[in-house]
Structure 1
Amino acid sequence: MLLILFTIISAVEKTEIKEALEKNDQNLAVAKIQEYLDKDQNVPLNIAVTGECGSGKSSFVNAIRGIDNKDEKAAPTGCVETTMEVTPYPHPNHPNVIFSDLPGIGTNNYPAAKYLKMVGFEKFDFFIIISADRFRENDLKLAKEIRKMEKKFYFVRSKIDHNIRDEKISQREFNEERTLTQIRNNCIQGLQDQGLQSPQVFLVSSFDLKLYDFPLLVETLKEELPELQKDAFLLVMPNISLDMIKEKKKTFKAKVKYWAMLSAAGAGVPVPGVSVAVDIALLVSVVTTYVLGFGLDIPSLKRMANYSGVPYEELKKVIMSTLAAVKVTPELLMRLLAQFSSLALLLAAEEGTRFIPILGIPAAVGLSFTFTYRSLNMILDMIADDAERVFTRVALQTQYF
């Protein structure tokens, strides 16, 4: 098991962990494995949101971060240009993912010809170009320059809810799908007329991301981003559907075996208590990531309550596990796992077998892997089920109103 583990760790990290194991230093062993775990969970992703002033960039940045426009951490919004310089807005739960609100292209301070250089295009992984009506010449110039730099860009037509509302009032026989098709085709035709081949335009309402084309935008990004960035992007997305929650669960589940192997490294330390300390420290870290990824931490639930109109206490009522809407601690996890006799026996056996000559350490490694693997899968099921219950409660409120 340790041989398999060390084949996926870099030479530097392998040396550091090996040295910690050889020193029989419990704190150092735990710290090094935790450091490696943190690195895996903090893949940087910097997303640029740009367009002409008044296009709804700031509202989009707030919505995709799950933040209301009135929140103290929100990007300022308004009917005039409110973004005067490149302003980074980290995701509240995942600061490694940053949505940068860029100044409007084509303004006096940011002329189109110098725009990309002035905003520092090289630090962004991809660009979202937003317009509230037709995409204009400056948007097209920007797209072509981004393409020259061999980076991705995506056209987003914002404020679709405003268009739908206006059309309902003005048309005698309103058809939403027909209206959406007309808006989309109009945007695509405008870009083609300016020389852009096969453009794709996503229709989005920052007021309600689950409507229109936002799910398709997420799906497109998932397909086109590198694997690690794809996971980072997916886990910061708001829970706009049950399918989104299932996708997050799938992403977490794919990493469980790796986390269990990392935990098993601690079982190779021939010092009493180190293996269990590593197991529990890793569980706390990963379970906290589960809670944050599904938006079940206290700040996220409160933001959701403000955003949806469902009282915070009502959201808490549908949560069944003891790990959501609380701070995850070693004590809390131990109390939960003690309720499952098979897991408690595994943990006890892991610590006991290390005292058996020759075969004890290899046996402890295997038991550590099994304990962590089963625990993480079980807890993931619990947290994902809670996320589905919270989403359903919010969806009922939205449908009601």
Structure 2
Amino acid sequence: MSEEHIYEDPDILRELEDYVNSFQHNPLSNANKKYDEFENVTLNIAITGESGVGKSTFVNAIRGLTNEDDGAGETGVTETTMKAIRYNHPTMPNVYIWDFPGIGTPNFKAKKYLKAVHFDSYDFFIIIGSLRFTENDVMLAKAIKKMKRPFYFVRSKIDQDVHNETAKKKLTEEQVLSKIRQSCEESLKSLGNPKVFLISTFELEKYDFHDMIDSFANNLSKHKQSALIRSLPVCSLKMIEKKSIQLMIAAVPTALAACTTVAIPIPGVSVGCEIGIMQGFLQGSFSVFGHKPEVELRSMMKSRFAEGVNVDVVAKMMATPIMVVAKTFEAILCCVPLFGTAGALPIAFSTTLSLLIVGIAEMTEDAKAVYGRGLQPF
């Protein structure tokens, strides 16, 4: 999303309006609370299904990892534990992916399995199937529904099916996908034919991946939506745009939290605190886009962040003539009777937000350039 069009997005406008209204109601006390809601919200995603359907590979894929990367979940191993394995996200410490053991195996009968699941601990469940969905999958879905938790069906390994069916039976890709959807509808008709998302974990940009993510997000709070989108791998230009919008939204409470430092009466401390908050946010944004300050990518990244985010980069953003004037005006207002901190806050908020928006816009363009060269950052 280009910088000049950011305020045309309705979600960003709503968020901006909400936080501008905060200036009228104790902005100093509300700022950190609102910032914390965005930055420290937790998201717990449960991945389940029968053994061998590709759960661990899916867990790795949505964490932006291949099966061979450090920290990836083991694939193709015999499940021997009844406990779900929790995987932390590599760049989002409050996002957790839970890989459940296969339901219905000889070791884990379905009824015993359901008794062991603490449904309220998870924001939503993803039930994965490969060749077909089974009675155990339906039983699990009914149990999740009874506990009033969201669940989604994902049909994995679609790339393999398309390759095999088009080669052997001379079907088109659309014919194969239609055949798979019909099969899924038949096996899940007792649940009222819920939507099934067709996914290839090795080609996330294809098939139903984006529709699936939109469905997840629609049933989450805005803070959890933000955590979800920011945690996903850069798999398409569309995903880059989604991430950009969520970062623009998150920039609003960040700017509000940063600008409250104008209340600190010690000269220079306010600006130092503001730079620290901005640096933390921009470093997080850098990771959200999958950027890595590696030599082979620098030639494609045209922004000031090509070599990463550090104090010097952020300080230079604030050292432009316009920013120096704005910060000087803030300091003067803080000393003026009747105006004081309350008069300086709107200026600090708008200037800080504008810098964060500029940073996100530059990183967005870098991400598009890198992805356009076929080098997915993750």
TM-score normalised over the length of structure 1:
0.82
Counterpart pick for 1:317 among 275, 281, 299 = 299
Q: Does 1:389 align with 2:373?
A: no
In the alignment, is the contact (CA less than 8 A) between 2:38 and 2:250 conserved in 1? no
Cα distance in 2, alignment partners of residues 5 and 108 from structure 1: 60
Q: Which residue of 2 aligns with 1:63?
A: 61
Residue 218 and residue 255 in structure 1: after superposition, are their counterparts in 2 closer, same or farther (change >3 A)?
A: same
Mean CA deviation greater in 156-165 or 71-80 = 71-80
Q: Which residue of 2 aligns with 1:344?
A: 324
Cα distance in 2, alignment partners of residues 3 and 200 from structure 1: 39
Amino acid corresponding to residue 332 of structure 1 in structure 2: V
Structure 1 residues 59-88: Cα deviation after superposition (integer angstroms, max 9, x where no partner): 000001000101120000016447663100
SS at match of 1:116: helix
Report sequence identity in percent.
36
Q: Does 1:287 align with 2:282?
A: yes
In the alignment, is the contact (CA less than 8 A) between 2:138 and 2:188 conserved in 1? yes
Residue 365 and residue 225 in structure 1: after superposition, are their counterparts in 2 closer, same or farther (change >3 A)?
A: closer
Cα distance in 2, alignment partners of residues 95 and 83 from structure 1: 25
Structure 1 residues 174-211: Cα deviation after superposition (integer angstroms, max 9, x where no partner): 3001101101111111111xx22121111111111111
Deviation of residue 121 (structure 1)? 2.3
In the alignment, is the contact (CA less than 8 A) between 2:235 and 2:376 conserved in 1? no
SS at match of 2:374: helix
Q: Does 1:7 align with 2:25?
A: yes
Deviation of residue 262 (structure 1)? 2.1
Counterpart pick for 1:374 among 354, 358, 366 = 354
Give the total of aligned pairs: 359
In the alignment, is the contact (CA less than 8 A) between 1:102 and 1:119 conserved in 2? no
Q: Which residue of 2 aligns with 1:185?
A: 182
In the alignment, is the contact (CA less than 8 A) between 1:275 and 1:351 conserved in 2? no
Q: Which residue of 1 aligns with 2:215?
A: 220
Q: Which residue of 2 aligns with 1:242?
A: 237
In the alignment, is the contact (CA less than 8 A) between 2:166 and 2:176 conserved in 1? no
Deviation of residue 43 (structure 1)? 0.7
Structure 1 residues 328-376: Cα deviation after superposition (integer angstroms, max 9, x where no partner): 33222112443x3322332343335434455454443233123202111
Cα distance in 2, alignment partners of residues 265 and 102 from structure 1: 44
Q: Does 1:330 align with 2:311?
A: yes
Structure 1 residues 138-194: Cα deviation after superposition (integer angstroms, max 9, x where no partner): 0000000000000011111111111112123212x33001101101111111111xx
Residue 46 and residue 3 in structure 1: after superposition, are their counterparts in 2 closer, same or farther (change >3 A)?
A: closer
Q: How does 1:38-57 map onto structure 2 within 5 Å?
A: 38=36, 40-57=38-55
Q: Which residue of 1 aligns with 2:158?
A: 160
In the alignment, is the contact (CA less than 8 A) between 1:276 and 1:351 conserved in 2? no
Counterpart pick for 2:110 among 88, 109, 112 = 112
Residue 281 and residue 395 in structure 1: after superposition, are their counterparts in 2 closer, same or farther (change >3 A)?
A: closer
SS at match of 2:102: coil
In the alignment, is the contact (CA less than 8 A) between 1:48 and 1:126 conserved in 2? yes
Cα distance in 1, alignment partners of residues 81 and 59 from structure 2: 12
In the alignment, is the contact (CA less than 8 A) between 1:126 and 1:151 conserved in 2? yes
Amino acid corresponding to residue 302 of structure 2 in structure 1: M
Residue 83 and residue 114 in structure 1: after superposition, are their counterparts in 2 closer, same or farther (change >3 A)?
A: closer
Cα distance in 1, alignment partners of residues 225 and 341 from structure 2: 37
Cα distance in 1, alignment partners of residues 73 and 307 from structure 2: 26
Deviation of residue 221 (structure 1)? 1.1
Unaligned runs of 5+ in 2: 1-18
Counterpart pick for 2:226 among 216, 223, 231 = 231
Cα distance in 2, alignment partners of residues 396 and 71 from structure 1: 15
Residue 37 and residue 330 in structure 1: after superposition, are their counterparts in 2 closer, same or farther (change >3 A)?
A: farther
Q: Which residue of 1 aligns with 2:10?
A: none
Deviation of residue 278 (structure 1)? 2.7
Cα RMSD over matched residues? Answer: 2.6
Amino acid corresponding to residue 305 of structure 2 in structure 1: L
